[in-house]
Structure 1
Amino acid sequence: METVELPALEVLQALGVDGTPVATPLLGGFDMAMWRVEHEGQTYALRVFRPGAYEECEREQVVMEAAHAAGLPVPRVHRMGTWQDRPALLISWIAGRTLADELRARPWHLWPLGIAFGRTQAAINAVEAPALLKQLPESWISWRCEGEEALQDRLRALSQGKQALLHLDYHLLNVLTDGRRITGVVDWANARAGDPRADAARTISILRLDPLVRRPLIQWLALGLFSLAWRVGYQRAGGRLNDIAAFYAWSGTVLQRDRAPRYQQQPHALAPARRWTNKWKSRANL
């Protein structure tokens, strides 16, 4: 969605923001427009969803409020409303820059920030999912896994109805830092209730396999070392990740299907993900 095509001040007025706020366009997602908003000495982020995306907006609002109440470093929701059939959220601005940018600039921070990255994810997964997410407790299992009945059955048997808060897009571009600690976790659009091992497997598959993450970083970072630091931090805070083979197979499947439209002309870019998925399916006897 092109941020500049939408009138940010009209959206803010629809949310009940009076006065003369200053809105600066930011790079949003495929179906999200974003601005940095300065108003009465405070800084916010304005997120405007695609038309009719009321469920997605409500889910992000509920999840961020639950995570904030649990003491996690997430934006606080200040206002929610609608402008011309487009739901919108006004949330607090999180200080810091992405882990990707920080590690490009200061690669010697790789190990301590990797540990902090893991600890923060374990803290997220220690939170019970809000009631809205619990209404569909197995939605993570079928997410982008249509036709994988054997894999889905195995995951149901292993997870035994766990309903932890899962981010499911926890990676270097969605986590902010001031160079010493994690200051924020953003983009909760994929959040679900489920087994923490799914969230951990999703993160490791993105770090190791996602062309969007690896390609701009591989010349700057030893992602394998960062992944090890993440695992150390996660397991110190959340315990060992046992019986994870089927979750790795699931995460590889999700990654391939999630990225396939982007790489229709470059299918070789997803070859590592295909090998990863097949390896872990074999180890899980699937």
Structure 2
Amino acid sequence: MMPSELAPLEILQTLGINGMPIATPVQGGFDMAMWKVEHEGQISALRVFRVGAHEDCEHEQSVMEAARAAGLPVPEVQKAGVWQDRPALLLSWLAGRTVEDELRARPWRLWSLGIAFGHMQAKIHAIPAPALLRQRPDAWIAWQCEGEQALQDGLRHLQGDQIALLHLDYHLRNVLTDGKHITGIVDWTNALAGDPRADVARTVSILRVDPLARKPLLVLLGLRIFEQAWRIGYQRERGRFKDMSLFYTWAGTVIQYNLAPRYKHIPNELAPARRWTNKWKAQAGCER
């Protein structure tokens, strides 16, 4: 969704923000528009959903409120409303910049920020999922995996007893830092309840084979260092990952289903994801 297609000042008026706020577009995602809003000495984030996405908005609002109540650095929902059938949230503006931007400017922080990145994801998984999500504790298994019955059956057999909060889009562009600490976690649209290994596998798949994260060789080497630090930071809190083959298969499948519409005219962009997924599928002995 392009911010230029919308009228942020009208949307802000709908939310009760009058006067002369300054709204600056920022990157908001494939089906989301977002602005940085400056008004009466305060800075907020305006997040506008696609037409009719009322359940998605309510879902994200509930998850953020639960995560924030548990002590995670998550935006506060200041106002919520609807403009021309588009749900909108006005959120508190979190300090810092994305981990991706910080590492681009200061690559020597790969290791320390990787440790912090893993530690924060472990903190998310230490939180029981909110009641709204606990009603569907295995919803993550079928998410973006239509038709993969053998995979789904294997995951149901393998999933653990813990029903944790899963972010399911935990990557370098959705986590903020001041250069030393993690200052924010944003974009909770995909959040579900379930086995923490699913969220771990999802993060690995994005770091490894998401076309949006594909980088030149030197940057890829840096990402491998970052990934190793992330694993250490996470495992210090929650122990080593176990029985991950099926979870990696699931995560690779999710990337392919999720991004297929975006790359329908250039399907070869998803070839690395297909190879990665097939490798783990073979290792897990999981056939379609």
TM-score, normalisation: structure 2: 0.94
Give percent identity, aligned residues only: 67
Q: CA deviation at 1:162?
A: 3.5
3-state secondary structure, aligned to 2:75: coil
- Equivalent residue for 1:247? 247
Q: CA deviation at 1:29?
A: 2.2
Cα separation, 1, equivalents of 2:8 and 2:62: 23
Q: CA deviation at 1:220?
A: 7.0
TM alignment of 1:30-69, pairs within 5 A: 30-69=30-69
- Equivalent residue for 2:170? 170
- Equivalent residue for 1:267? 267
Cα separation, 1, equivalents of 2:6 and 2:105: 33
Q: Within the alignment, does 1:137 sit opposite 2:170 as a pair? A: no
Give deviations 1:102-161, integer Å, cap 9, x for gaps.
111111100000010111111111111112222222211001111111111111111145
- Equivalent residue for 1:232? 232
Cα separation, 2, equivalents of 1:240 and 1:44: 38
3-state secondary structure, aligned to 2:260: helix
Q: Within the alignment, does 1:97 sit opposite 2:97 as a pair? A: yes
| Counterpart residue identity of residue 225, structure 1 | I
Q: Within the alignment, does 1:88 sit opposite 2:67 as a pair? A: no
- Equivalent residue for 2:197? 197
Cα separation, 2, equivalents of 1:50 and 1:162: 33
| Counterpart residue identity of residue 132, structure 1 | L
Give deviations 1:228-285, integer Å, cap 9, x for gaps.
1110011111222111111011111111222223333433332222222122122222
RMSD between superposed Cα atoms in Å: 1.7
* Most deviating of 126-135 and 110-119: 126-135
Cα separation, 1, equivalents of 2:98 and 2:210: 17
Give deviations 1:23-49, integer Å, cap 9, x for gaps.
222233222121111122111000111
Cα separation, 2, equivalents of 1:183 and 1:202: 21
Q: 1:27 to 1:164 in 2, by over 3 A?
A: same
Q: 1:121 to 1:60 in 2, by over 3 A?
A: same
Q: In the alignment, is the contact (CA less than 8 A) between 1:107 and 1:221 conserved in 2?
A: no
- Equivalent residue for 1:109? 109
Q: 1:161 to 1:148 in 2, by over 3 A?
A: farther
Q: CA deviation at 1:221?
A: 5.2
Q: CA deviation at 1:9?
A: 2.0
TM-score, normalisation: structure 1: 0.94
3-state secondary structure, aligned to 1:38: strand
3-state secondary structure, aligned to 2:30: coil
- Equivalent residue for 1:180? 180
* Most deviating of 190-199 and 34-43: 34-43
Q: In the alignment, is the contact (CA less than 8 A) between 1:168 and 1:202 conserved in 2?
A: yes
* Most deviating of 48-57 and 135-144: 135-144
Q: 1:233 to 1:112 in 2, by over 3 A?
A: same
Q: In the alignment, is the contact (CA less than 8 A) between 1:209 and 1:272 conserved in 2?
A: yes
- Equivalent residue for 1:206? 206
- Equivalent residue for 1:281? 281
Cα separation, 1, equivalents of 2:114 and 2:232: 8
Q: In the alignment, is the contact (CA less than 8 A) between 1:114 and 1:226 conserved in 2?
A: yes
Tell me the number of residue pairs that the alignment of Structure 1 and Structure 2 aligns.
286
Q: In the alignment, is the contact (CA less than 8 A) between 1:103 and 1:221 conserved in 2?
A: no
Q: 1:220 to 1:105 in 2, by over 3 A?
A: farther
Q: 1:164 to 1:35 in 2, by over 3 A?
A: same
3-state secondary structure, aligned to 1:88: strand
Q: 1:60 to 1:218 in 2, by over 3 A?
A: farther
Q: In the alignment, is the contact (CA less than 8 A) between 1:129 and 1:164 conserved in 2?
A: yes
Cα separation, 1, equivalents of 2:186 and 2:216: 20
3-state secondary structure, aligned to 1:263: coil
Q: Within the alignment, does 1:152 sit opposite 2:152 as a pair? A: yes
- Equivalent residue for 1:23? 23
| Unaligned 5+ runs, structure 2 | none
